[in-house]
Structure 1
Amino acid sequence: MDIKLLDLAIIVSGIIGYFISISLVTTSFYKSRANKFLALSLFLLTSLTFLGWYEIGNFVLQFLDNIMLELLVAVALFTYFLIHIEHKYLTKKWYRLLYFPFIGSVILELGVSFFDIVLNIYNPDFDAITYDIKDQLSFLYNVLLIFWGRYLVKKSNTISIEKKRWLLRLNLFIICIIICWLLSNIELYIYDSEFITSFLWILLSFLSWWILYYGIFKLQIIAQKDEIHQYLVSQKTTNTFVKKKINETTVSKIITELYTVMEEEELYKNPLLSRLDLANHLGTSEGYLSQIINQEISKSVIQFVNEYRIEAAKKLLQDPVFNKYSIVAIGMESGFKSKSAFYKTFNTSLGMSPGAFRKLQQKS
């Protein structure tokens, strides 16, 4: 790829990164305590990309590069994870000590700058040694906090499956960046080249676009889905599901219990619900459940579950209260795992897309 094209890509990604950072702390819909730390992390990573990609000649920029902003990124991301999972570490007194490595780096660099500018005493060997030490400590610190954060997110049971998936994906992306960081240092010391380093800056610049889609667009859908869910919970006493009539020829107790758990416990709203999960919930075997549903209802398990999901989605799409919410959020609240699964199943069942169905209901 041409260098000028890379320059352009990194500049555009940087602008996007700064724009997202500012939007997260100024836009009312996205403004939250967690997003403040995501904005700070993205702002710092974007700045590090510019500082690493372009030659630094300005004293102020050199100072920013030397104070190891990476140390602050590690704490900001760790805090972002903790806020989402509502972890008790945030209330601990020792938590503030996590900022000490960054503060220490700033104090050290201020001392070096004082000797250099005020006292006119400059030792390039000392400066190089301190920079290498700070760089290595910064790397280890990032590894510690990122993997610690990943462990806590995996262990948490206070957040939705969708939000946990997003946090783990973001964490994995940062781990990939850390791996590139390690490989770039190895390449520089052994081969005296910077091919992987260039790839690192490209990966960092790509992070802005990735967060824009998954961290902003996707999380907005999850937020909408949670809002819909909370509203439905608050209206549950007056907004019950219409019970299906069981065919008189149906004699199986399993089928009766199946209708009960689907309508009263709304198991179909779990996007990860499997045939085995349903069988275990009913206290029967997976094979017998499939057999009895096929014999008495003439459907497969997935067809049976999806019927409930479609009915739930239709009800939401018909209600003007939910017109402000995206169709994807409605599909997720109804139990579908993805947009494609929702659209495909809905179209197969009704012969039209969810969007067309909504428009039809609004006209009628």
Structure 2
Amino acid sequence: MDFNVYNILIIAGIIQGFIFTGVVLFNKKYHAKSTYFLVALIFVYSIGNLMYILPDIGVMPLLTMYAYYFLPLASIIPVIIYFYVIFFLYPSKKITFIEKLLFVPFTIFLALTLFYRLKIILGHIEISPVNPRFKLVVLTNEVFSVLYSIALLSIVFIKINKYEKQSKVFDKKIIRLDVKWLKNTLYFIFFFTFVWAYLTIQNIFLKQGEANFYVLWIGVAYLIYWLGHIGIYKYGIVTDRKKIRKYLNDTGSNFQEENNNNSSYSSSKHTNEYIEALEKLLLHDKIYLDSNLTLDSVASHLNLSPSYLSRIIHNELNTSFPDYLNSFRIEEAKQYLKNPDFAKYTIVSIGLEAGFNSKSSFYNVFKKATGKTPLAYQKDRAVA
């Protein structure tokens, strides 16, 4: 066998993909439509890399792989990506008839592949030279899959952008998902799809020698690692946030109203009508939970100019708008961190539910205000 550093990286990715698949499938906490498609994607990527790396390291001739082990997985990958994104954004969505048709190309290529494989096994056609019709099926699958991937990835981007536009309006009953990581992942996939397109053109049409697919296989190996970690991490955060939101809805908790008397910016100390209106928005409508809330949007709601509202807050409360807003978020987070029912949820999910837009901003603002990290604060309260 012929090993090099590239082979080792690719094989490590394959092994990790199989391990991840087993761990997720046998862990009930990850059972959801989106994670099923995530696991399917990682598994298919792993199988795909395995098919091509075995001939490369000398385990079997390339023609033997195509004759007995090749599967037209390239045509199913963009479909799996499509459904993973759809169910991540809309967990309760049902698959439409039109969407089911997305599986048809893979089904056709798989049927043709198995047909010719059966003929090879029965001795009706030879492995070498390769049957021209079987070769046409393999090459057609490759070219079609490149174009299919570009088309479906483009549709997925449109879906994500539509979701972002729909979620711009804050609704405390709906969890707004972080899709930036998802878009970055798709940019990565898009880039390697074009690399794949270039290598396919070089290999099939330009006839400039056999194309080197190592860069593509290593990209897939990295993608397996990335999807396995960030995909499940993001799923866990969303799951925790749903549980926190359900707890609050079931118990009817309103931590800010319960702690209004302890607030350093209580309306009992300040009688400015605009401050009272702002405080009402924050305490009753809980708009501070909107991580995208801006001074401009609040000022517009109060029919004030942003500069005037900023000046009022500074003069009346001796603070800035961001600090004032974050004081409510910190109080919200404190109540979560003190509550033993929230101990099983991640710190990140607690920060996001309190209105912060990232783990880093939550940690930085919380530590600046309390002198402790959220985790240290939670542990201290648990001991007390």
Q: Is the TM value for this pair above 0.5? A: yes
2:112 and 2:83 mapped to 1: Cα distance?
A: 25
CA contact (8 A) 2:109 2:141 kept: yes
TM-score normalised per structure 2: 0.85
Kindly indicate whether the alpha-carbon contact (under 8 Å) linking 2:289 and 2:329 is maintained by their aligned counterparts in 1: yes
Q: How does 1:160-199 map to 2 (within 5 A)?
A: 160-188=175-203, 189-190=205-206, 191-192=208-209, 194-195=211-212, 197-199=213-215
Question: Does 2:316 align with 1:316?
Answer: no
TM-score by length of 1: 0.89
Q: 1:60 to 1:324 in 2, by over 3 A?
A: farther
Partner letter of residue 154 of structure 1? N
Secondary structure of the residue aligned to 2:283 is helix
- The letter for the 2-side match of 1:40 is A
1:130 aligned residue (137, 145, 149):
137
Contact 1:48–1:65 (8 Å) recurs in 2:
no
Structure 1 residues 65 and 187, CA, compared in 2 at 3 Å: closer, same or farther?
farther
Identity, % of aligned pairs? 24
Q: Does 1:246 align with 2:267?
A: yes
Q: List gaps (5 residues or longer) in structure 2.
A: 168-173
Shift of 1:63: 4.8
Equivalence for 2:244: 228
Instruction: Summarize the alignment of residues 41-60 of structure 1 with structure 2, pairs less than 5 Å apart.
Output: 41-55=41-55, 56-57=60-61
CA–CA separation in structure 1 for the residues paired with 2:376 and 2:286? 26
Using the TM superposition, give the Cα deviation of residue 311 of structure 1 relative to its aligned residue in structure 2, in angstroms. 0.7
Q: Which amino acid aligns with 1:225?
A: R
SS of the residue aligned with 1:335? coil
- The CA deviation string for residues 56-97 of structure 1, in whole angstroms up to 9 with x for no partner, is 538884357644111122222222223334499844333332
**Distance (Å, rounded) in 1 between the aligned partners of 2:202 and 2:64:** 28
Alpha-carbon offset, residue 170 of structure 1: 3.7
Matched with 1:291 is 311
Q: Deviations over 1:204-238 (max 9, x none)?
A: 00012211331112321232122112211222256
Structure 2 counterpart of 1:258? 278
* Aligned residues: CA RMSD: 2.7
Question: How far does residue 292 in structure 1 lie from its aligned partner after superposition?
Answer: 0.9
Q: 8 Å contact 2:73–2:106 — kept in the other structure?
A: yes
For residue 257 of structure 1, report the CA deviation from its aligned partner.
Answer: 0.9
Give 1:345 shift.
1.0
Moved more, 330-339 or 211-220: 211-220
1:107 aligns with 2:128: no
Pick the structure with more helix per residue. Answer: 1
Match of 2:157 in 1: 150
CA distance in 2, matches of 1:86, 1:342: 26
